[in-house]
Amino acid sequence: MTEREKGELPGFVRALTAPSRLLPLGLVLTLALRGLAKRRPALFDRLGEHARRSFVIEPSDMAFAFVMVPDGAHAEVRTVARGRAAGDVHVLGPLLALLGLLDGTFDGDALFFNRAITVSGRTDALLALRNAIEDAELRPSDLLGLEGRAGTLADASILRVVGTLQRLTGLQPDGMPS
């Protein structure tokens, strides 16, 4: 199976996103996650004891991975070079499939059955995170901390870009390439 067939980003999009590794993404996402915990604490209740575990989220079409500890007000996200990340749980898959999990567009089990993502480590922690995210119905504005018109605009424009890329890569709602 080629990379393109697995629903990964086309080459020109990867090239466009390459400079993002130079951004302080870890810091931005840490602040976003802590802000989210402040606004919606119930979202983190579903994680229970697993909130303190470290989750390595590795987009297979990016140059780096995220290491996340979703511990509410103490949440933390770091970016590390791909292949160097260690944690309790490891999830590997195309960026757009992982984003689809975040907003509930894609079904996690279907992604797993179809081998669009691979997982290892603490399966119980991964399930807790998947189910917590599923229930959260997250939108870009939740992470960005935007409300009202600004939030609506951010959701519409970001989701339009992601949807276009998902169609471009042939990803369907189950995470399978068409």
- Please report, as ranges, the residues that interact with another protein according to CB under 8 A: 1, 46-48, 50, 104-110, 112-115, 118-120, 122-132, 134-137, 172-174, 176
Minimum separation from the CB atom of position 20 to another protein (A) = 26
Closer of 27 and 109 to another protein (Cβ): 109
Minimum separation from the CB atom of position 28 to another protein (A) = 26
Q: Which residues pair with 68 in a beta bridge?
A: 55, 77
Q: Which residues pair with 59 in a beta bridge?
A: 93
Which residue matches tokens 């996200």? 77
Closer of 28 and 127 to another protein (Cβ): 127
Nearest to 130 by CA among 88, 159, 98: 98
Closer of 44 and 64 to another protein (Cβ): 44
Closer of 24 and 170 to another protein (Cβ): 170
Minimum separation from the CB atom of position 25 to another protein (A) = 25
Minimum separation from the CB atom of position 139 to another protein (A) = 12
DSSP alpha helix (H) spans, the chain: 11-17, 25-39, 42-45, 95-103, 108-113, 123-136, 140-144, 148-169
Closer of 28 and 92 to another protein (Cβ): 92
Minimum separation from the CB atom of position 88 to another protein (A) = 12
Nearest to 80 by CA among 62, 95, 97, 96: 62
Residue 84 in tokens: 């160097």
